[in-house]
Each structure stands twice: as structure tokens, then as C-alpha cells.
Structure 1
Amino acid sequence: MHSFAVDHRQGVAMSYQGYRQHTVLITGASSGIGASFARSLAARGASLVLVARRRDRLEELAAELRADHDVAVLAVSVDLASPAAVATILDALRTAHVSVTALINNAGFGTFGEFGSEEPARLAQEIAVDVSAPVQLSHAFLPEIVTRHGFLINVASMAAYTPTPRMAVYGASKAFVLSFTESLWAETQGTGAAVFALSPGATSTEFNAVVGTEDATAGAKPRTPEAVVLTALAHLESRNPGPSVIDGAANRFTATAIRFASRRTTARMMHWVTDPARRAGLPKAAATPERG
């Protein structure tokens, strides 16, 4: 079993050598952006704690990373929608004698449909995974991240920048993550820790499959998880990382352009963008809201 090691000397600007001094906990690590983060950080020499629901996928990825990169990897299978999820993670870390010095809150999912038709229990799970878990995990690990000059990356979304009709709870949760993380960035200035929000747009992951419809990304051309992770790590490795970074030039342009539109205009525009009838070429009256 490889040992988990940390170092007190690293500052905000991260180097390849610097990653070797950190143990990074990644949620939603079994696929998509989370798995890409795991592979990229293992290649840079970081020790890892992989968190997701699907134990078989976690164990398979952990074995791959140990074999390919000779790094320490701990897999923790837990459903972040469970009220006991964070306690379960902390217990697993104590049992394994692992100290987390960096955190990537990547896990999240969305639902699609008119708000009034959504299932309350599913919405509660969405809030637990997308909002409550990042807050609790950030609170649990931020003191050590600051002490060890590590990093905290919270994955938000382009949905954080606009109202998102038919995905009202998801969009609101990502707006929360963006605001929350930018506040933590300000609070941790001068500590040597790096804190920022990462906002991808449409990405080639299992997101739409979980939501249950391609309408969730409105037909946008997806970027790859690897491209998203490269954006995040380039930001992390910059001399003075800002409070947030958007993946993709087109997404950055969109986020900037939206600032010049009124909230009324933006909400109406996004209601049109997410309309299933628009993508299907059907008359508006024929649209049937889809549910996640």
C-alpha cells in the first residue's frame, strides 16, 4: 500500500512536483469530469481519495491509477444524497489514516421538467448532492487545505450564470456553488490555498443520461471532460488564480454577453432554449415537459 504524504511548503501556484505533496479527494470520481480529474492528477503524482456511488467503477479506476502511476488511491463508495454521507467519508479517512489536503467537489446531477411536475424526493436528493454535500465537505476539509496550502475546486456550471427554466433547481444550485466558492476565495486570500469554481458548459459525460433527456443541454456541442480538466488545472497552476473559471471560449463569451441583457430577457430566452418543442421542431402547444 502506498503511503499518503503531504507537505507544508506549497503555495498557490502549483507545479508538477507540488501535486506529489497532496492528497486530493474527488467526488463523482467514477466517470466523466471526476474520472478525468483523477487520471490527470494521478499522472502528476497526487495521492487520491475517490468518492462515488458505484463501488465497482471506483475500484476499477483505483486499480488502473495505482498500476499506471504508482500513486496511493483510496476508494470510498457512498451516496452523497444520504444524510450520513459526509460522516461515512470522514470515518473511512480516519480508518485509513488519510489526511486530505485538496478537494474537488465534482459530484452533481440535474432534473428536467416543469418544476410543479417534479418529484419532491428527487429534488431533495438533487439539493443534497449539488448544494449540501459541497458545503459540508468544504467545511470539513478547508482548514487542512489552508494549513497545507492545498486547493479547493467546486464544480459549478454555465447554468450558474442564467435562470434555467425546466432545470430550476439545478441552475439555482449551481448559482449557489458559484457564489459560495467565490466567497471562500475572498476569505482565503493570502493563506497560500487556492480556491475557485469551475464552470463547464455541455460536456461529454453521463449528465444527460441521468437527467433523462438531451434537452438538458439544449443540443449544445459538448466539450470533452479532458478539456474541462485542462482548463481547471491551467487555472490552478497560474500565478494568481481568480475566484472562478469558465471552460471554453464560447462559454466565456456567452457568460460575458449575458451581463448586458435584462433578467427578464435572459429568463425568457432560456425558457425558449430549453423548450423540447423547439429542438423537435414541434408547435409550442405540442411540447410535453420531460422529467429526470
Structure 2
Amino acid sequence: MTTTPRTALITGASSGIGKALAAEFARDGYDLVLAARSVPAMQALAEELQQRHQVSVTVIAADLATEDGAAQLHAAVKARHLTISALVNNAGYGRFGEFKDSALEPELAMMRLNMNTVVALTKYFLPDLIATRGRLLNVASTAAFQPGPYMAVYYASKAFVLSFTEAIAAELAPQGVSVTALCPGPTASGFQDAAAMQASALVRGKKLPSAEAVAAQGYRALQRGQRVYIPGALNWVMAQSVRLTPRNMVTALVRHLSRPATA
């Protein structure tokens, strides 16, 4: 008896958590579609996973921070006659610094990637997920649980991802689609370098969990149908404590924890 192969589309798959999630899906027998801007890095990963796990891996160049990036990716997947049974919205980035000092366009591009693209790809591939009773993993952050001075737009974008994910999880449960928001804290994934966060007291001098550890925990949470998963006991406690703490106090605490380490 032949079975239809399971295929997972993973955005931001060239490095960090996205790359580690690709390995988790491949280990479990999923064929993969990897999407990001860095084609050489994805091709190297594709060769490794194909050889190690005997799965099919398709690499698609995609700039998902553009207005039509999500539509182009969807068209490229469908041109290859692929049906997606797991979608991982992982692509995203942050920017460290005071809002008054930042340029507008990079902030808007961040919003397009972190929010608009998540909604667009979910909308485009939802018919596939419903047809296959598939799985959707949106990578949010512990930043989703409170406002974030020095990364105001990033924190707000991840709050959107968390709210959106929980809402559609409730909507899609009757269709058999499992939806999970993965909310890691600071992770050794290259994110800090891209966000110019090296000077932040939140990460400077800290030993951070690896992208591989976060991905493994997130993948298990997805497979067991958990709607929100926060890796790490301390991260979980901090996220829950926000609910009982006055908002002004929360913001002041985050400002203190995230401040430039030299301030």
C-alpha cells in the first residue's frame, strides 16, 4: 500500500531555529520545502538531510519581507505540484534600539515579515492543511507576552503572532488542523547578531539554549497538538507572571532587562 508523502514548508530555513526544525521534520520522514533568501546555505542543508534521512528536499529562494513575497512562494510551491501538510512560519527578525532612533522602512519591513507574511502564507496554504488534516507552527517568542522597550516593534509583532495563532487554533480544531505557537526566549540562533542585540543586557554574557534544543522541544509540542509552547521553565514562569503584574511595572522591568549593557 502506498501513502501520500508528508511535506513540510519551512520559512527562514537557512539557519537558526528554522534550520533545526528542518532537521526535526526530516528525521520524522517529512519531505521538505525550504524557503529563505540564502540559497547556498539551504542547498547545503538539503544535501545533508537528503543523504541522512532519505527524504526529498526542495529549495526555493524567497524574500518574504517584500509585499508579494508570500504570493510568489505559494506560486512556486504550486508550480511544483506539491501539497503542504505542515507549514512552519519561522522567518522573522528583530531590531534593537530606541524607536526614536530607528529608520522607518526597516521597521515596516519587519512588520511585513513578522506579521503580514505569517497571515498570507497561512491563508494561501490553509486549503492544503485542511485537506491533509495537517499542522501549522508559528514561531512567536516570549516577547509576545509583554511590551518590549528597545525592541518595541518586534515585541508587538510577536504579540500579534501569538494572538493570531491562538485564535485560528480554535477555529481550525474542528477541521483537524493542529496549530501551535512556539514561544522561545533568547536562543543561540544568530538572531541576536542580525538584530544588533549584542550590547543588550538581555543576552550579553548569557549562556543561551541552542536552536537545536528549542526546535526539538517545539517539534514535540506541535506533534502533540499543544497550542502554545514556551521552552524552559524560567521562560514559562516569566510569561505567566506578566498576567498578575501591573503593566507599568512589567514595562519598566523589561526596559531594565533589555537595556544596553553599557547604560
Normalised by the length of structure 1, the TM-score is: 0.85
Aligned counterpart, 1:162:
146
Q: Which of 90, 100, 113 is the equivalent residue of 2:97?
A: 113
Quick check: which has more Rg, 1 or 2? Answer: 1
* 8 A Cα contact 1:202 1:221, kept in partner: no
For 1:77-98, what per-residue CA distance to the aligned partner results, in whole angstroms no more than 9, with x for missing partners? 1111111211221221122211
RMSD: 1.5
- Give me the whole-angstrom Cα distance separating, in 2, the residues matched to 1:6 and 1:33: 29
Q: Which of 229, 232, 255 is the equivalent residue of 2:239?
A: 255
Code of the aligned partner of 1:212 = A
Say which SS state the counterpart of residue 267 (structure 1) adopts.
helix
Q: Which of 50, 55, 73 is the equivalent residue of 1:66?
A: 50
- Give me the whole-angstrom Cα distance separating, in 1, the residues matched to 2:189 and 2:96: 16
Say which SS state the counterpart of residue 188 (structure 1) adopts.
helix
Alignment partner of 1:222 is 2:242: no
* 8 A Cα contact 1:151 1:193, kept in partner: yes
Task: Evaluate the alpha carbon distance shift between residue 63 and residue 31 of structure 1 in structure 2; reply closer, same or farther with a 3 A threshold.
Answer: same
Task: Evaluate the alpha carbon distance shift between residue 268 and residue 103 of structure 1 in structure 2; reply closer, same or farther with a 3 A threshold.
Answer: same
* 8 A Cα contact 1:201 1:251, kept in partner: yes
Aligned counterpart, 1:232:
218
* 8 A Cα contact 2:74 2:121, kept in partner: no
- Give me the whole-angstrom Cα distance separating, in 2, the residues matched to 1:237 and 1:97: 25
The alpha carbon displacement at 1:65 in A equals 1.1
Code of the aligned partner of 2:215 = V
The alpha carbon displacement at 1:253 in A equals 1.1
For 1:8-38, what per-residue CA distance to the aligned partner results, in whole angstroms no more than 9, with x for missing partners? xxxxxxxxxxxxx411000000001000011
Superposition map of 1:109-148 within 5 A: 109-148=93-132
Q: Which of 184, 187, 193 is the equivalent residue of 2:171?
A: 187
- Give me the whole-angstrom Cα distance separating, in 1, the residues matched to 2:213 and 2:139: 14
Aligned counterpart, 1:290:
none
Any stretches of 5+ residues in structure 2 without a counterpart? none
Aligned counterpart, 2:185:
201
Alignment partner of 1:267 is 2:251: yes
Say which SS state the counterpart of residue 25 (structure 1) adopts.
strand
Normalised by the length of structure 2, the TM-score is: 0.94
Task: Evaluate the alpha carbon distance shift between residue 146 and residue 216 of structure 1 in structure 2; reply closer, same or farther with a 3 A threshold.
Answer: farther
Aligned counterpart, 1:76:
60
For 1:32-79, what per-residue CA distance to the aligned partner results, in whole angstroms no more than 9, with x for missing partners? 100001111111110100000001111111111111111111101111
**Count of aligned positions:** 260
The alpha carbon displacement at 1:6 in A equals 6.7
Aligned counterpart, 1:17:
none
Aligned counterpart, 1:10:
none
Q: Which of 238, 242, 255 is the equivalent residue of 2:226?
A: 242
Code of the aligned partner of 2:86 = A
- Give me the whole-angstrom Cα distance separating, in 1, the residues matched to 2:134 and 2:3: 9
- Give me the whole-angstrom Cα distance separating, in 2, the residues matched to 1:109 and 1:267: 21
The alpha carbon displacement at 1:217 in A equals 6.7
* 8 A Cα contact 1:25 1:100, kept in partner: yes
Identity %: 37
- Give me the whole-angstrom Cα distance separating, in 2, the residues matched to 1:156 and 1:228: 12
- Give me the whole-angstrom Cα distance separating, in 1, the residues matched to 2:3 and 2:70: 22
Task: Evaluate the alpha carbon distance shift between residue 216 and residue 130 of structure 1 in structure 2; reply closer, same or farther with a 3 A threshold.
Answer: farther
Any stretches of 5+ residues in structure 1 without a counterpart? 8-20, 281-286, 288-292
Aligned counterpart, 1:94:
78
* 8 A Cα contact 1:27 1:51, kept in partner: yes
- Give me the whole-angstrom Cα distance separating, in 2, the residues matched to 1:221 and 1:182: 30
